[in-house]
Amino acid sequence: MKLKVGSVLKAQGIKGEIKLSCFLDDPAMLCGISELYVGTNSYSVEHIRPDGAFCYVKFAEIADRNAAEALRGWTVYADKNSVPLPDGRYFVEDLVGCNVVADGEYVGTVNNVLQYGAADVFECGGGKKKVSFPFLKDVVLSVNVERKTISVDGKRFAEVAVYED
């Protein structure tokens, strides 16, 4: 399965390196990857240099600036299994569709994850009412992406949840 990891902004230098706008929380997560996909083409990674929210990537198959410039604007993908995640971190696509349970009671199913910076906000539907809540350590007790369940602390959830009328 492919994971969208960034977008090619421009060629960097004259040796075929590209500047990549990274879609991951930490561009350093790409450092161990040996293969990336641009469109439908596979490229071998020679090196990746993280720099803030960007990465500079050199592909073995891209030898000069002109070839790198031809990739401008393309979306870059990686094999999902090749991107390491620290403990307690999840891909958004794995969380969408999870059932949220508060103290054993079904709250709803995650329909969307909004990323505002301070905390991700989960939007849930399918329960009694549509509800949104922040993904905070003291609210979320456990996440099981294989079973598609997210357990939340009922008391803390009641304090931070916002219900749609």
Confirm if 27 and 33 have CB atoms less than 8 A apart.
no
Residues 7 and 76 in one domain: yes
Of 46-55, 73-82, 84-93, 96-105, the range with the lowest mean pLDDT is: 84-93
pLDDT of residue 128: 79
pTM, to two decimals = 0.74
Residues 77 and 146 in one domain: no
Nearest to 21 by CA among 57, 58, 62, 46: 57
Q: What is the per-residue pLDDT across 22-72, written as a single tens digit (0 to 9) for each?
A: 988 889 889 889 999 998 899 999 999 999 889 999 999 999 999 999 999
164 — pLDDT class (breaks 50, 70, 90): confident
Quote the number of domains for the chain.
2
Residues 96 and 135 in one domain: yes
Confirm if 149 and 99 have CB atoms less than 8 A apart.
yes
Answer whether residue 8 is part of any domain: yes
Confirm if 80 and 35 have CB atoms less than 8 A apart.
no
Largest Cα–Cα distance in the chain?
59
Residues 27 and 76 in one domain: yes
pLDDT of residue 83: 87
Residues 77 and 96 in one domain: no
Residues 156 and 108 in one domain: yes
Q: What is the per-residue pLDDT across 104-153, written as a single tens digit (0 to 9) for each?
A: 899 999 999 998 777 889 999 887 789 999 999 999 999 999 999 999 99
Structural domain harbouring 38 = 2-82
Which CATH number fits the domain that encloses residue 139? 2.30.30.240
Answer whether residue 145 is part of any domain: yes
